């Protein structure tokens, strides 16, 4: 099986951008299958840094890049992102880029509702990016969405607008806001429609065609398994399924095509926004991890919370997503630590757990059980083979493999594409 599915195995921000960029350079097609422009993938190619939120990472290398039906699409954000990349010399055409015509749109009313809710929630806020992702997914399952294909039929939107307004106007009134300006909304859609429609196509059909031609397909996930709306730390999660199984439903290519499932895992743990975080370090060690790892969100710029590697959560994520192998990133951030800790279990009310319980209150109360290891002297920065790594760093990697019950497929030792130790080639399986 030549295909590869990439997912984040923690709370996102694991360094997927670099890994996906490297894989995309060897793939024939890359497809985003969930999320929206709340994702943040940073690619460093030579002296140039590209920051992507919505576009598949393959676009930088000219690989066929597709946005699947499982994504919620903000057409204005897409246009802005494309213009920025084109300004950096990236070619984006109807030949190398496509959007699923059944993809739901994020509208200005979705952004408005997201901001109103988060602002009013106070201490109960989820920690969203306030970009309208959640409300757009709500309208999708509520059968109120305006989709990409509707942009060719704007004169026939009356019944859909009635459903949208019946729902949103009541919510807006509750926040003291005026009803939706239907004329303004239609006007905005008419203006953006020609730009979006040129890329619209049945992506499921395009993918099946390239599959039959023997192409290598890369399924690109966003966020991380611990933010999955079903399997994550609910309610502090995103609004889509981030697990590998979504690659099928979010792209239109059957589950048998998922191929090698690569879980991206940071050598320590980070989280952006609210929610439980058993191994969080609110001391100088956590501060050091954040500073050395440059832990600020690509999309929001928010400072990431940092902590020791949580083997319990990562093992859980790998099991739920059927991960074949992991790509371990940011190992170099741990250089020079005298002692390194790994969470191997939790204690809750006198009971030892080897999984994270489902209830948010229990998640917040678990106490991590740590195993300590000696750190290593010297540097792992730029290592491209096992021989370049300190012996203790290799021991740390091997212990992670044991604890998460999943092998390491690669180790990343810097943001540069070439600074990677390849153990198992996902496309070779």
Neighbours of 82 (CB within 10 A): 18
Instruction: Please name every residue paired with 326 in a beta bridge, in sequence order, or none if there are none.
Output: 263, 408
State how far the Cα of 91 lies from the Cα of 89, in Å rounded to an integer: 6
Determine which one of 13, 28, 332, 419 is catalytic. 13
Pairwise CA distance, residues 395 & 140, whole Å: 47
Catalytic residue among 21, 28, 37, 41, which? 41
Catalytic annotation on 13?
yes
Q: What angle do CA 155, 137, 60 make, to 5 degrees?
A: 90
Residue 143 Cα distances to 18, 104, 140, 186, 202, angstroms: 36, 10, 5, 19, 20
How many separate helices (H) and strands (E) can be counted in the chain? 12, 18
Phi, psi of 370 (to 5 degrees): -105, 150
Both tokens of 188, joined, read 């905005």
Other Cβ atoms within 10 Å of 1 Cβ, number = 12
In terms of Cβ atoms closer than 10 Å to its own Cβ (0-12, 13-18, 19+), residue 127 is middle
Distance CA(265)–CA(13), nearest Å, equals 9
Largest CA distance in the chain: 67
Query: How many Å apart are CA 393 and CA 414, to the nearest integer?
Result: 15
Angle (nearest 5°) at CA 149 between 143 and 153: 95
Cis bond leading into 235, ω under 30°? yes
CB 212 within 8 A of CB 29: no
- Count Cβ atoms below 10 Å from residue 352 Cβ, excluding itself: 10
- Enclosing H/E stretch for 373: strand 367-374
Is 153 one of the annotated active-site residues of the chain?
A: no
Distance set, CA 387 to CA 57, 376, 421 (Å):
31, 14, 10
Catalytic residues: 13, 41
């Amino acid at each position: 099986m030549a295909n590869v599915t990439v997912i984040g195995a923690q709370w996102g921000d694991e360094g997927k951008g670099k890994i996906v960029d490297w894989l995309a350079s060897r793939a024939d097609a890359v497809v985003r299958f969930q999320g929206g422009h709340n994702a943040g993938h940073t690619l460093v190619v030579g002296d140039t840094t590209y920051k992507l939120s919505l576009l598949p990472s393959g676009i930088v290398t000219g690989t066929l890049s597709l946005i699947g039906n499982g994504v919620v699409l903000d057409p204005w954000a897409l246009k802005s992102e494309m213009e920025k990349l084109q300004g950096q010399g990236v070619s984006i055409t109807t030949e190398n880029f496509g959007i699923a015509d059944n993809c739901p749109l994020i509208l200005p009313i979705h952004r408005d509702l997201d901001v109103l809710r988060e602002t009013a929630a106070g201490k109960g806020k989820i920690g969203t990016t306030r970009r309208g992702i959640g409300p757009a997914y709500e309208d999708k399952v509520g059968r109120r969405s305006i989709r990409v294909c509707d942009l060719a039929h704007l004169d026939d939107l009356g019944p859909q607008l009635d459903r949208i307004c019946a729902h949103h106007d009541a919510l807006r009134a509750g926040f003291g806001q005026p009803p939706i300006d239907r004329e303004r909304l239609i006007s905005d859609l008419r203006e953006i429609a020609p730009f979006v429609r040129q890329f619209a196509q049945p992506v499921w059909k395009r993918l099946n065609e390239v599959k039959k031609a023997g192409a290598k397909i890369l399924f690109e996930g966003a966020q991380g398994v611990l933010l999955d709306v079903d399997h994550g730390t609910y309610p502090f999660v995103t609004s889509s399924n981030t697990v590998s199984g979504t690659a099928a439903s979010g792209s239109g290519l059957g589950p048998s095509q998922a191929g090698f499932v690569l879980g991206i895992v940071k050598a320590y743990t980070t989280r952006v926004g609210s929610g439980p975080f058993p191994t969080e370090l609110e001391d100088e060690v956590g501060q050091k991890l954040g500073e050395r790892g440059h832990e600020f969100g690509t999309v929001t710029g928010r400072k990431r919370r940092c902590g020791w590697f949580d083997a319990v959560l990562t093992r859980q994520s790998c099991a739920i997503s059927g991960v074949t192998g992991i790509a371990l990133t940011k190992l170099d951030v741990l250089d020079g630590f005298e002692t390194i800790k790994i969470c191997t279990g939790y204690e809750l009310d006198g009971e030892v757990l080897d999984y994270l319980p489902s209830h948010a209150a229990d998640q917040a109360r678990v106490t991590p059980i740590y195993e300590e290891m000696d750190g290593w002297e010297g540097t792992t920065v730029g290592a491209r083979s096992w021989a370049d790594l300190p012996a203790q760093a290799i021991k740390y990697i091997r212990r992670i493999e044991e604890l998460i019950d999943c092998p390491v497929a690669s180790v990343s030792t810097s943001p540069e594409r070439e600074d990677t130790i390849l153990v198992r080639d996902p496309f070779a399986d």
